[in-house]
A = this chain, B = another copy of it.
Amino acid sequence: MTDSNPNASLTAPSIHGDALPPVEQHAQQYATVRNAHETELIEDYVELIGDLLTHRGEARAADIANRMAVSQATVSKMIRRLNELELVTSKPYRSLFLTEAGQKMAETSRARHDIVLHFLRALGVKDATARIDAEGMEHHVSDETLDIMQRFTEQQQKS
């Protein structure tokens, strides 16, 4: 280990900005992000399929491809994966449907997404920007922060 004094950051005063966090904590930050990246795309697909079913009555691969701006081949491959994960059911050339697990994930993701989006709007971010930011941020917001965002939004609406 090169980093011979892992807690130097806690003791060494410095002319620079914030000190480095302890190694273990720092590692946890990156590990959590890597973890989020593993599930993020899946959540977006499931959430979108749920939205299409709710608002359109069916979820076709072509819609997903259009809405994600991705090729149909990419969607087709992903659907196979969602199938293996038992999040969706699909018959060839037919609309997709969500399994129980898929519906649960869709609801959770949608709720989280909405809290982040409404929070950003409450903060004063323009709608188009808020939507773009929320699409990425949603996967990196802890439950603790989510709670605070929700309370902030409610507070804002009362005034």
Residues of A within 8 A of B (CB): 1-3, 8-9, 12, 14, 16-21, 23, 25-33, 36-37, 44, 51-52, 54-56, 60, 62-63, 66-70, 110, 114, 117, 120, 123-126, 128-133, 135-137, 139-142, 144-145, 148-149, 152
Contacts and interface: CB of A to CB of B under 8 A. Distances in A.
Contact of A3 (B14, B66, B120, B124): B66
B26 A67 contact: yes
Copies, count: 2
A16 B139 contact: no
A136 B135 contact: no
The secondary-structure label for the interface of chain A is: helix
16 contacts: A2-B60, A20-B52, A20-B55, A20-B67, A26-B67, A27-B66, A28-B132, A31-B69, A123-B149, A125-B148, A129-B145, A133-B140, A133-B142, A136-B139, A137-B141, A140-B140
